[in-house]
Structure 1
Amino acid sequence: MTAFGITPKSFKLLDELTANNNREWYHAHKEELREQLLDPFASILESASAKMKNAKRPFSGSKQTMFRLYRDTRFSNDKRPYKEHVGGLLTPSGNKKEDTALIYAHLASDGGFIASGFYRLETKDLNRIRDRMIEDAKTFQAITRKITKAGYHFAEIEPLKSMPRGYAQYADHEHATFLKMKSLIVSQNQSREAWIDGSVVKELVKLHKATVDLMLFGLEAIGKKS
C-alpha cells in the first residue's frame, strides 16, 4: 500500500535510467516514468503545500515547481541527456523561479533528501543576511539553536576558507562559521520507505516548521518580507 504512488518499482526505474541514460530508453519508458515518478512526486509537493497553508509563512509547490528530467548539456562535459533523480521546490510564492527562500525535495535511487533555506544567493543579498547576523546576533543564535534542537544540521556547501570580503574584522564573531557560508541550507536524508509510505510529506512539514524562522530572518534582511 502506497500513499502517493511511489513504489519499489519507482526506484527500480531510477536504477534503470542510471544504467540506460539515453534517449532510446527514455522514450520507451516515458509514460512509465510519468506514472511511477513524476505524477506521484507532484502529489507529494501538493500534499505538503496543503499542510503548510496555515503556517507562519506558507510555502507551496506543485507540478509547476518541479525540475525537468532533461539536462542542459550544451556547456557541460557530462553529456548524459537526463537527470537520474526527481527534484522540486516549495517556495513562498509557489513559483519555481523563486530565488531566495526555498524547500527542496530530491528523490533519488538511494532515497534522496529534503533541504530548506537559502541556496547560492547573490552576493548583495547574502551580505544583507550576514549584516543582520552581526546586528542581531542573539536572534540568529536562537534560530540556529531551534534548528539544532529539532535534530537538523546545516549543510556545508562550498564554504569560504576565510572570511568574506568586508568581514575580516568578524573572524572571531560567534557566527563566523555562518558568515563564511555561501548557502544557508538545512538538510535531511530520506529513506526509500519515506517516499513509499508518504511520510516524506510529514518530514517536509517538520523541516518547514523548524526552519521557517531562518527563512523569515533572511527574507526580512533582504527586504522580501510580504
Structure 2
Amino acid sequence: MIDSRTQAHTSAPQAAAAFSPASLQFLTRLAQNNTRDWFKAHQDEYEAQVRTPALAFIAQIQPFILQLSPRLTAVPKKVGGSLMRPQRDSRFSHDKTPYKTNVGIQFRHFQGKDVHAPGLYLHIAEQGCFIAAGIWHPESKTLNAIRSCIDENPNGYKKALQTLQHHGFQMDGDSLIRPPKGFDKHHPLLSELKRKDFIAVKHIPFEDLCRPDAVQLCAEHFKHCSPLMAYLCFALELDF
C-alpha cells in the first residue's frame, strides 16, 4: 500500500510560484511607511501581494511538511495558522512601529503552543531570506532538557550537526558567556551546551522563492533539518 503522504509528495503537480517581486516590494514600502494609516490604505495590496501568496505557499508545501513528520502543522489560515501575523508586539520594545517588515511562516510541532516549540521556519525580508529549523528561546526547563540530552546522548546531536553543515546550514542564536550550571567547563560540546537557542539557519536568495519549483526547493532544505528536529523532539519526549 502506498502511504498517502508519499503519494501526495510524488504525484502533486508543480504549482506556479506563490511569491513574486511584488511581495518583496510591498515589504520594502511598508518599512518606509510603517504606520497604521498607511497600512490600512494599502490593505488590498498587502492581501494580494503578501498574505495571499504566503497562504498559497503554505497550502502547496503542506504535503511535503506532513511527509517529513505528521506531527508538524502546515495550516493556510489568515489567523491562527502557519502564517505569523503582521502586527508587532511592541509593548516591551523601544521600537513602536506597528508592523513587521518581514513575512514569517512556521511549521511547528502540534504539541507546541507558540513560536518556542520545535519547528521549521521561512523568513522573507528585504534584508535577507532564510530557512530555519529548531527551537528559539525555549523556557529554562526545556533548555535544560536539551542540554542534558546532548550531554548524555552526544552522538545523535553530532550527526544532526554534520548533516546540517553538509547542506549549508549553520547553528545560530544566543549563547551564554559562561558554562551552564551543572555542566563541565571542559565538556567537548561546551559551545553547544552554552546555546540559549537551538536554531539551524540557511540563507537563500529571494529569487528562489519566485521560481515555479520554490516549494520543492524549500521542502528539500527542510528535509535536511529532520535529524535536528527529531533529536530535539527526542530530548523533549515528543513524537516526531
Return the TM-score normalized by structure 2.
0.84
Deviations for 1:155-190, whole angstroms, at most 9, x for unmatched residues? 1x12111111121x2x22221111000111111112
Residue 176 of structure 1 is matched in structure 2 by: 190
Deviations for 1:76-112, whole angstroms, at most 9, x for unmatched residues? 2211111111112112329763632111111112442
SS of structure 2 residue aligned to 1:116: strand
Residue 44 of structure 1 is matched in structure 2 by: 57
SS of structure 1 residue aligned to 2:27: helix
C-alpha distance 10-96 of structure 1, shift in aligned 2 (>3 A): farther
Residue 213 of structure 1 is matched in structure 2 by: 227
Letter in 1 for 2:117: T
SS of structure 2 residue aligned to 1:181: coil
Residue 108 of structure 2 is matched in structure 1 by: 91
Contact 1:47–1:201 (CA<8 Å) still a contact in 2? Answer: yes
C-alpha distance 166-198 of structure 1, shift in aligned 2 (>3 A): farther
Q: Which of structure 1's runs of 4+ aligned residues deviate more than 4 A?
A: none
Contact 2:123–2:130 (CA<8 Å) still a contact in 1? Answer: yes
Letter in 2 for 1:213: P
Residue 197 of structure 1 is matched in structure 2 by: 211
Aligned-partner Cα distance in 1 for 2:112–2:193: 28
**Superposed displacement of residue 70, structure 1:** 1.3
Deviations for 1:197-222, whole angstroms, at most 9, x for unmatched residues? 15442343223221212122121222
Residue 10 of structure 2 is matched in structure 1 by: none
Contact 2:18–2:57 (CA<8 Å) still a contact in 1? Answer: no
Letter in 2 for 1:210: H
SS of structure 1 residue aligned to 2:62: helix
Does residue 132 of the first structure (1) align with residue 149 of the second (2)?
yes
Contact 1:49–1:90 (CA<8 Å) still a contact in 2? Answer: no
Task: State the Cα RMSD in Å.
Answer: 2.1
Aligned-partner Cα distance in 2 for 1:66–1:115: 15
Residue 104 of structure 1 is matched in structure 2 by: 121
* Structure 1 spans left out of the alignment, 5+ residues: none
Return the TM-score normalized by structure 1.
0.88
**Larger deviation: 177-186 or 6-15?**
6-15
Aligned-partner Cα distance in 1 for 2:213–2:188: 36
**Larger deviation: 132-141 or 30-39?**
132-141
Letter in 2 for 1:13: F
* Structure 2 spans left out of the alignment, 5+ residues: 1-14
C-alpha distance 13-44 of structure 1, shift in aligned 2 (>3 A): same
Q: How many residues align?
A: 222
Letter in 1 for 2:179: M
SS of structure 1 residue aligned to 2:220: helix
Deviations for 1:2-49, whole angstroms, at most 9, x for unmatched residues? 933422222221111111111221111101111111111122122222
SS of structure 2 residue aligned to 1:53: helix
SS of structure 1 residue aligned to 2:195: coil
Residue 4 of structure 2 is matched in structure 1 by: none
